[in-house]
Amino acid sequence: MKSRFESKEYEFLEIESRETEDGTILSIFLNNPSSRNSMTWKMGEEFSDIIHSIRKQKKLPRAVIISGRSDVFCAGGDLNLLRSFSEKSFSQNRRDMRKFYGFFLSVRKLPVPVIAAVNGHAIGAGLSLTFGCDLRIFASDGKYSFNFVRLGIHPGMGSSFLALELLGKSLGGRLLLTGETFNGEMAKEWGLALDAVPKTSVYERAMELALSIAKAAPLALQELKQNLYSWKQLDSALKKEAESQARNFISDDFKETIQSIIEKRDPKFKGK
């Protein structure tokens, strides 16, 4: 019999549960293959709905795994979504961006350990989602980047806080300021990923980790989750990001970003 999560139909997500002697391991897969699992507004609503449903359960899963279908984790924000932001006002974008961040970063509020099984490329907001999880397994040859500034926008989805939290101001700042690409082996070397393995083994490795976590005392883990993070600090960063991105979305530089994507060329920014 399917769990209540698996029984519900989602457009951009898939749910799987595995029953063990210690309890349930729940897996959430991003599933938007036509655009490399890019984030849409609808996907965000579905993701938030699942996280909210998990939190309401009397018997929580022992661990949650976040991964992607089709050999990619997440290509970041969907192009049509980004284009829509360029057509809205500053106040609309500030409100909508804050809400959009909240959809996906709701994972941070789960009272159980969350593992990101990053089975392929993770770019921009997609990479930020992995930083919002507790533990990460990366594909060795996956490509990862906070490419926000190369798109003419301030980093979002909590990355301006999460990158510094996990990597420090020097390395975290470097990745945010340059938008450079790194691979899974580099992520492991930096301590960002617990392990870097071939993409076909990422989910299996994450499940091994989840099964190990499942043997720990659940109440102790829930208390630990509450004490590990400061949501207030992240929330403050999200408000600043939403305001900065809202300004960037109505700039000429961001309009140039959209046009360059359509024309498949590098953008030419003029600082307007």
Q: pLDDT of 109-167, one tens digit each?
A: 999 999 999 999 999 999 999 999 999 999 999 999 999 999 999 999 999 999 999 99
pLDDT at 226 (0 to 100): 87
Name residue 4's amino acid. R
Instruction: Give the pLDDT confidence of 231-251 residue by residue, as tens digits.
Output: 788 999 999 999 999 999 999
Helix axes 231-249, 79-86, angle to 10 degrees: 70
Closest CA to 73 of 172, 165, 145, 168: 145
Looking only at the bridges linking them, the beta strands covering 122-123 and 181-182 are unpaired
pTM over 0.75: yes
